[in-house]
Amino acid sequence: MQVSNTLNNSPVQTLQFNGHKLFIKRDDLLNHHFSGNKARKLGYFLDNEFTGIKKIVGYGSVQANSLYSLAALANMKGWQLDFYVQRIADWIKAKPTGNYAGALKLGANIIEVQELSTNLDDYMSQKSQKLNADTLFVPEGGRCRLARHGIKKLADELLEYINNQHLANPVIMLPSGTGTTALFLQTYLPYKVLTCACVGGDSYLETQFAELESDKSLWPTILSTEKKYHFGKLYLEFYQIWRQLLKQTDIEFDLLYDPLGWITLLNYLDKQQGQEDIIYIHQGGLVGNESMLPRYQRKYESR
């Protein structure tokens, strides 16, 4: 599989949404296999050679964007990917779709570990300490310091755009899973970076930040959500804003992270007094919509 090693310089699109002028950093257009933040977080592995490496090990959800991108990385480098998941639902085993299907086609070895005496994070932390020298380990979602390499390129692109467009008061917004991209962006940018916790609550996100950066002054600003949402659960307001965005902007966003990101951002903008130049980072993840969209349609369009 031929993939460019220079996955950068995504365009910025200016648009109006709900009365707000916004700038969209289209990282979703970087590459089908390494769309959005995975192109950034895996940039170090794409840009460098690893002598003697035969395997890469990762873990997370069976429909994680990282599963598909790690499978593409392994395929490109001639490695084997072992990807550990807690559980694979019977329906997706019977009819693979989305990131799971894409990873299987790329040769990923997806390992189900249902019976755990601890959580998957702890299990993989212990397992990572026993790997052979010919094996690379990538934490869930690419949450590691090596992610700085690609995120630095993203920060440089943002700085160049801000300077070229003479934006007076730029603010960067992106929703977070592990928060790795938002954290490292804030360390490289002199502007405010906003994020919201999509996978856990604010305290979960702060814990993720602390593992990679002890200096809290370098952390991005977490926008608290007005309602507690459970990751992966279907919410009518998520589907509504996703459809509204598609209709008004003609841009397809991810159905797991972006709906909460946009709801949180709009709540923030409604409370702001001054004028800010909001740059929203579209982090890709659209392969996951192949499984998420039918679920939303079955639940909310069959009534």
Half-sphere exposure at residue 185, Cβ-oriented, CA atoms within 13 angstroms? 28
Task: Please state which of the ranges 30-34, 56-60, 254-258 shows the lowest mean pLDDT.
Answer: 30-34
Is 83 among the domain residues?
Answer: yes
pLDDT score for 140: 87
Same domain, 153 and 25: yes
**What pLDDT was estimated at residue 115?**
75
CA atoms of 201 and 204, how far apart (whole Å): 5
Domain boundary pick from 95, 128, 144: 144
Banded model confidence at residue 6, pLDDT cuts 50, 70, 90: low
139: in domain: yes
Instruction: Tell me, yes or no, whether 155 lies in a domain.
Output: yes
Residues 211, 276 share a domain: yes
**Do 87 and 151 fall into the same domain?**
no
**Residue 9 and residue 38 in contact, taking contact as beta carbons nearer than 8 Å:** no
The percentage of residues in the chain with a pLDDT greater than 70, rounded to a whole number, is 97
Helix axes 148-165 and 180-188, enclosed angle (nearest 10) = 50
Q: What is the mean pLDDT of residues 231-253?
A: 96
In a shared domain, residues 227 and 255? yes
Q: Tell me if 1 is assigned to some domain.
A: no
Do residues 20 and 138 both lie within one domain? no
Residues 112 and 160 in one domain: no
Mean local confidence (pLDDT), 54-61: 95
pLDDT of residue 272: 85
- Tens digit of each residue's pLDDT (9 = 90 or more) over 130-141: 999 999 999 988
Location of structure tokens 């997370």: 60
* Full residue range of the structural domain in which residue 65 is found: 40-144
CATH of the domain at 29: 3.40.50.1100
Q: Final residue of a domain: which of 94, 120, 144? A: 144
Distance CA 250, CA 155 (A): 26
Within the chain, where are the H helices?
37-41, 43-47, 65-77, 90-94, 98-105, 120-128, 148-165, 180-188, 202-212, 236-249, 258-271, 289-300
Give the C-alpha distances (Å, rounded to integers) separating 190 from 100, 145, 185.
38, 20, 9
Q: What is the pTM of this model?
A: 0.92
Does pLDDT of 251 surpass 50? yes
Higher pLDDT, 303 or 117: 117
**Do 112 and 226 belong together in one domain?**
no
